[in-house]
Copies of this chain bind each other. A is one copy, B any other.
Amino acid sequence: MEKAIRELCAANEKKIVLLVLDGLGGLPREPGGKTELETARTPNLDALAAASECGLHLPVGCGITPGSAPGHLALFGYNPLEYPIGRGVVAAMGIGFPMKPGDVAARLNFATLDAAGAISDRRAGRIPTEKCAELCELLKGVSIKGVEVSVRPVKDYRAVVVFRGKGLCDAVADTDPQALGVKPLDPVAMDPKAERTAQVAKDFIAAARKILASQVPANGVLLRGFAELPHIPSMKELYKLNPVALAVYPDYKGVARLVGMEAIEDLADLEAQGKSLASLWERHDFFFIHHKYTDSRGEDGDFDAKVKEIEKVDAFLPRVLAMKPDLLIVTGDHSTPAVVKAHTAHPVPFLLNAREVRPDGISSFGERECGKGAWGVIPGPMLIRLALAYTGKLKKYGA
């Protein structure tokens, strides 16, 4: 199927917008109640739904709770199970680090270690990004024979480390025990091929501890998500699209870059994203707009705040519509119900608006209404195919 689609795709001037409310799907706060999306006042989304085909999608598969990267890969049209992506790669790509095949990247969190070397704060008191950048600068002093080490700040206590050298392998276990009062774990090789990389990581951690010794609360580092650059065909190769990502958070720029999107830097909020959309309109044919905070408030367990974030995006919607996209998808990358405070496997509502749709009579954009829509429950990667088909970018198969 993938091969057929690749052969059938052809570029045209039609514009597609994918508007993602991260963690959009929710659950009722109480039995018999409404979800966050059903609670939110969304006059613009409701009106758009009434002129759209609606449904629910499963980003990875039935019963699978998607991480952020797989959730987005699905929306970009990839089977996430075919393209496992490590956290380290997402982080490195997110800050625009030019990773090469064979590099091994890992997420690095600054942490506080007590006198006995046990973790007392996994986030080093949430040091500000400036401090993080300063510490990364200090870690430039780490030297490991035969390996080039790069440490770059991401945000707050988060950074990324990339090892470059011959014969490295990413099958190394996390050092973050995800618990307090215990020592960080050793970076253990999960495959004989990764023995050397594990030793490199061990040496790096030891050197970092020396350099950071006086930098309380950031006197230790935790590494996780060791990963090499995966080979993912780009959206240009697959779909002949020229896509751009308008995301505030680095990780989403990272996933976007992994599928060959250009990712715009320094977008602070929806306001900036809207301006960027307008200024880039003529240069691209696929626009990925990402709103993070629906997920954040879901993770916080703050139902009302998640409702407000949805309403913010609803208020933003007219700016997207003003561009007159030929096709607009509004959806999420997974569900993050406030009552669960975490990603869940629940299907995610979507609407697909274009001239060439059969509106299905859904006039309220919500999980249960979308479930009664034209598409029922479909795999997430189908959305992009429909978008390509309904904009004439996917040609006829067979005589």
Contact = CB atoms under 8 A, between A and B. Distances in A.
Interface of A: 1, 4-5, 8, 27-28, 31-32, 35, 51, 60-70, 80-81, 84-87, 90, 225, 337, 339-340, 342-346, 356-361, 367-368, 371-372, 374-378, 382, 384-386, 388-390, 394-399
Given A358-B27, A358-B367, A360-B371, A84 B394 contact: no
Interface SS majority for chain A: loop
A397 B66 contact: yes
B398 A5 contact: no
Given A368-B361, A398-B67, A399-B86, A61 B376 contact: no
Given A225-B399, A356-B27, A62 B368 contact: no
A69 B86 CA distance: 40
Nearest to A91: B399
A361 B62 CA distance: 21
A66 B35 contact: no
Contacts of A358: 27-28, 35, 346, 367-368, 371
A4 B64 CA distance: 9
A344 B388 CA distance: 11
Considering residues A343, A372, A384, A388, which has the most beta carbons from chain B within 10 angstroms of its beta carbon? A372
Contact of A382 (B31, B62, B376): B62
A361 B368 CA distance: 9
A213 to B, nearest CB: 30
A318 to B, nearest CB: 18
Given A35-B358, A356-B344, A396 B67 contact: yes
Contact of A64 (B86, B345, B394): B394
18 contacts: A28-B358, A35-B358, A62-B382, A62-B386, A63-B385, A64-B389, A65-B395, A65-B397, A66-B398, A68-B398, A70-B398, A84-B398, A85-B398, A87-B399, A345-B386, A345-B390, A358-B371, A374-B377
Contacts of A395: 65
Top-10 shortest CB links A-B: A63-B385, A67-B398, A87-B399, A345-B389, A70-B398, A63-B389, A62-B382, A376-B376, A65-B396, A67-B399
Nearest to A83: B398
A60 to B, nearest CB: 6
A382 B63 CA distance: 7
A131 to B, nearest CB: 25
Contacts of A371: 358, 360, 374
Nearest to A394: B63
A367 B360 CA distance: 10
